[in-house]
Amino acid sequence: MSSGNLLSIDEFLGELNRLLNNAEKSFAAAGSLDTLEEARVEFLGAKSGQLKVVQKQLGQIAAQEKPVAGQNLNRVKDAIQAAFDAAKERMSVSSIRGEVDPAFDRTEPGNPLRIGRMHPITQTIKELTDIMGRLGFTPARGPEVEDERHNFEALNIPADHPARDPLENFYLSLVAKREGHSALLRSQTSTVQIRIMETTQPPIRVISLGRVYRPDTADPTHYPMFHQMEGLMVDRNVNLATLKTVLQLFATNYLGKSVPVRIRPSFFPFTEPSVEADYFWNGRWTEFGGAGIVDPNVFRAVGYDPEVYTGFAFGLGVERLCMIRHGITDIRDMYTNDVRFLRQF
Amino acid sequence: MDVSWEWLQQYVSPKCSLDEVTDRLTMSGLNHESTTAIDHDFCIDLEVTSNRPDCLGHLGVAREVAILADCPLQIPEVKFAESDEDISKLCSVVIECPELCRRYTARLVRGVKIGPSPEWLARRLRTIGITPINNVVDISNYVMMECGQPLHTFDFGKLAGGKIVVREPKPNEKIAAIDHNEYGLVPGMCVIADATKPVAIGGVMGGAETEINNSTRDVLIEAAWFAPGSVRSTARKLNLHSDSSFRFERNTDIEALEWASRRCAQLIAEIAGGKVAKGCIDINLFKPERKPVSLRPTQIERILGIAIPTDFVRKVLAGLGVQIQQESADEFRVLCPSWRKDLSREIDLIEEIGRLYGYDKVPDNVTVAMAPSYKSSQTRMIDKVRRVLSAAGFDEAMCPSLLPEPWSKACSPWTDREPFISHQPMLGVLEKGSQNVGAVNCLRRTLIPSLLEAKRINEYRSNPDIDLFEIAHVYLPKAEGLPQEPLMLGLVSGRDFAALKGLVETLLRELNPEIAMRYEASKVEIFDINRSATIQNGETMIGHLGQISAAGKKMFGLRQNTTVVELDLSFLATQVVDVRRHQAISEFPAVKRDFNFILAESTPWVDLEKTVRDHAGPLLESIQFRETFRDEKRDGAGKKRILLSLQLRSKENTLSGPQVESVCDAVVQACQSSLGATLAS
């Protein structure tokens, strides 16, 4: 018998383990697809790969030990294949993301999602109310159609005052009685302050916001309807320094950094002293709005004792701030409602 | 107010530069607009607020400068010789309308020689933009610009009867003014007449016939006080605004006008020659009633937030011409000057002291106590509405609150009452293409017409995807008094009825997931009757939506399909669920079942939905409408098919087949028995 030709099962299994060991090391060490392919040919090559060589040795195993040897051969074969697959997956990106399709153009636009925009006036108002909210001022609303008491009398604007001229206001009447007028579109949001003070006791910190109306013919800088924001603070120790401080805080908040604020004398019937407030921005003084200490006559009109309480009020035109903020040059654009305009903000 | 720098220095000699003077004037209330070099002088343009007519003359400005620059004010001394002729023998003055003219003075200079003004005077007028005419006219302008009191000079020889009558116009009276236009005079205006005819419109403009010309020998100088309101309305009615009317409108100093008259006589005598007749006719119906004012130093700090030295207070009061009658440690008793009608109360004086002390000395970093602020439930709701509409691709519009009458009439879903009408229309607010619709003077009772116009403009400009919303008040008249002003949300879109209805339902459920909505036929005339509805909550109309009918589109110039929605946000604010409560969710899978019911055309979806909901039991999670279609061949006439899906789920277990089947059987049976619905095979 040619027993010298027989291979012991132990030797065969040792050979298999060595092979698996070497293959795993080679695959793991492969730095590129090319070297990995070389390693594959070396170990798994169909003609003369090392696995093939070891497989051929199966014939030298004693017959009774062949099943065990075969099982182990398959196990090692699968393990080597798995090691190779893992190495390839690790290395070859394209293998898990598919083949490059020349018809795919990643620069084509996606399906747009159309989001509506808030009107620039709304955005400005929101900014202003947020700032004033942080300073403790609560927004208040009042009617746009007002009586003369709230629009004029309680605001210390007497009957012969030019501001009450029929040509300076939108006086209203019902169709049924075209003669005379019972009401008008408010010409300022100070009316809301009167309504608040008539029904509330100090301390008060409110802002009133909304549409106001004056019969200017519409042009690039005028519109017969616009928006105002007015602040009112009433308490026992409110004075001009309080006003200046709040204006300073407001400007710092609005412009995002501390800027010089100045007040200079002006005239409004419902405040005394009355001032114009300016802030220094981009190298020049920019008008901010009117303000002042609430006139004692206004307090008397709402039943506050001016010897006990003092207050300040300030007002500003929302359109003007909005136009400066966004670089809008014609106020009429804001009320034409062209969607190409509205979608810019 | 244009001020000549050279002229101003006749009254004050500030030691600081012109720029420093204008800076200080700005910071004390006379806002400096510009300085222009003219000849060898500067014209300083100052903005004078309506409460400060005293600063509409160089002397008034000089008084401010004297305080600001701490230098003396020199008021010219008025001296002239009078002739022996007594003016009262030569002319007379009668005031017949004391409401319109409370004081009238006349002075006479006889034997003047009309000619050009001397160069110093002409140059001063030119600097401030007044063209010199002749010496007498120039002097009256000069004195007005010196002290702020307008004057008028008449050719006395042409005054019939040597008489001045101050009265209201007679019927159909007219006057040719010095601008050579003829003006019709109406009651309420103040006319200066001679014995026969009007010779001037009081405070506004003189007449051509009696104006000074080269042959004038005798000059009558008018210095008067005219009622501000009357001058204002006269100037406006005649569209005749002058330096004179501008000053009278702001209330001239009735007590000081005699000084102006004398000053004018003096300068005429000096420059144009002639003799001033003795005396002055002074019809004065005014009774001075200046009351003393109490000024407490403690109040100065209380209002201004800074303490001001008493010495400074005294100096300012003196500089302003305020007389201190009494002074104690805690009070000044003062009398304010006649030229400062704006000073009648303590607070007025505090402002004077503050502005002249300098508001720059008021700190801007004092401690202000913190205070909470609140966001109302309505504001929160509006924020939410804007978020939803933004996500839905709607842009926010803002439209004028007034409408032309045809648009106002076309649509008024909220009220049958007629709208409020404005006496003044809004001008310039209509786009080209709508300008023939009529005056914009009706307060809107609904947002819909404005939004249709906004869509029309966008259509006209070929803009794609016109989806707009507006949040604004509408004005619903009540039986009497001010209108009700509910806040409305309006939408306009090119999308169809179902799309907008879906948006409304989404929005309403976003505000309140449980909100009850009912859809009924809409009465809005411009809606397509088959593509419209009102939305009800119980007995309350929440809103309406509809596609605009062909006739409605034509009326509003629309070319494309248009659907609108309007919702009453004021009502919805009462229904809103601000903070939502958590509800436990089931961890088990859902089962979905489709049903294809054949039922009568007359059965609305809501009935089917209610029947299903009432009978599906607690496992029902949701009902989804899929579609309605009709197949007359298979189902016969008057029938439709509605496809719907039910989603079932249990909180306790994964649903078993029998559990699902029993729900389905109950639903099918209920629909069969109460609606006559059958399942399509």
State the Cα–Cα distance between residues B449 and A270, nearest whole angstrom.
Answer: 37
In this complex, the residue of B26, B368, B374 whose CB is nearest that of residue A138 is: B374
State the Cα–Cα distance between residues A313 and A191, nearest whole angstrom.
Answer: 12
**pLDDT one-digit tens code per residue, A206-247:** 999 999 999 999 999 999 999 999 999 999 999 999 999 999
State the Cα–Cα distance between residues B526 and B410, nearest whole angstrom.
Answer: 7
- Based on the number of CB atoms within 10 Å of its own CB, is B273 exposed (0-12), middle (13-18) or buried (19 or more)? middle
**pLDDT one-digit tens code per residue, A7-30:** 888 888 888 899 999 998 988 888
Model confidence band, residue A165 (pLDDT cutoffs 50, 70, 90): confident
**pLDDT one-digit tens code per residue, B384-435:** 999 999 999 999 999 999 999 999 999 999 999 999 999 999 999 999 888 8
Task: Output the pLDDT for position A95.
Answer: 56
Average pLDDT over residues B638-652: 96
State the Cα–Cα distance between residues B373 and B24, nearest whole angstrom.
Answer: 39
State the Cα–Cα distance between residues A270 and A150, nearest whole angstrom.
Answer: 12
Task: Give percent above pLDDT 70 in chain A.
Answer: 94
The C-alpha of B389 sits at a distance from chain A's nearest C-alpha, in angstroms, of 7
Nearest CA to B572 among B380, B290, B357?
Answer: B380
Best of A172, A233, A237 to mutate (most B CBs within 10 Å, chain B): A172
A116/B306 touch (CB, cutoff 8 Å), yes or no: no
Task: Output the pLDDT for position A2.
Answer: 44
According to DSSP, the β-strands at B563-568 and B487-493 are antiparallel
Chain A residues near residue B305 by CB distance under 8 angstroms: 239-242
According to DSSP, the β-strands at B639-648 and B540-548 are unpaired
Q: Indicate if the pLDDT at residue A201 is higher than 50.
A: yes
What is the ipTM score, two decimals?
Answer: 0.90
Nearest CA to B252 among B336, B144, B346?
Answer: B144
A335/B400 touch (CB, cutoff 8 Å), yes or no: yes
Q: Indicate if the pLDDT at residue A344 is higher than 80.
A: yes
Task: Output the pLDDT for position A175.
Answer: 57
Helix (H) or strand (E) holding A132: helix A120-134
Tell me the β-bridge partners of A312. Answer: A233, A293
Closest residue in A to B493 (Cα–Cα): A339
The C-alpha of A258 sits at a distance from chain B's nearest C-alpha, in angstroms, of 12
**pLDDT one-digit tens code per residue, B354-367:** 999 999 999 999 99
According to DSSP, the β-strands at B440-443 and B402-404 are antiparallel
Model confidence band, residue A328 (pLDDT cutoffs 50, 70, 90): very high
A116/B396 touch (CB, cutoff 8 Å), yes or no: yes
Side chain identity at residue B538, one-letter code: G
According to DSSP, the β-strands at B41-47 and B31-38 are antiparallel
Chain A residues near residue B434 by CB distance under 8 angstroms: none
Chain A residues near residue B485 by CB distance under 8 angstroms: 143-145
Side chain identity at residue B633, one-letter code: K
State the Cα–Cα distance between residues A81 and B491, nearest whole angstrom.
Answer: 66
Nearest CA to B429 among A215, A332, A186?
Answer: A332
Average pLDDT over residues A171-175: 80
- Based on the number of CB atoms within 10 Å of its own CB, is B486 exposed (0-12), middle (13-18) or buried (19 or more)? middle
Task: Output the pLDDT for position A4.
Answer: 52
Better-predicted residue by pLDDT, A97 or B440: B440
Q: Which residues contact B18 (CB under 8 A, 6 or more apart)?
A: B5, B35, B42, B44
Chain B residues near residue A250 by CB distance under 8 angstroms: none
**pLDDT one-digit tens code per residue, B237-257:** 999 999 999 999 999 999 999
SS3 (DSSP) at A5: helix
Average pLDDT over residues B631-641: 93
Taking residue A18's Cβ as centre, other Cβ atoms within 10 Å add up to 13
Model confidence band, residue A1 (pLDDT cutoffs 50, 70, 90): very low
Tokens of A55: 């497989």
SS3 (DSSP) at B393: coil
Q: Which residues contact A49 (CB under 8 A, 6 or more apart)?
A: A41, A42, A43
- Torsion angle, CA of B43/B44/B48/B52, rounded to 10 degrees? -80
Per the confidence metrics, is the pTM higher than 0.90? no
SS3 (DSSP) at B441: strand
**pLDDT one-digit tens code per residue, A30-56:** 877 788 888 889 888 888 888 888 888
The C-alpha of B432 sits at a distance from chain A's nearest C-alpha, in angstroms, of 11
CB B510 within 8 A of CB B490: no
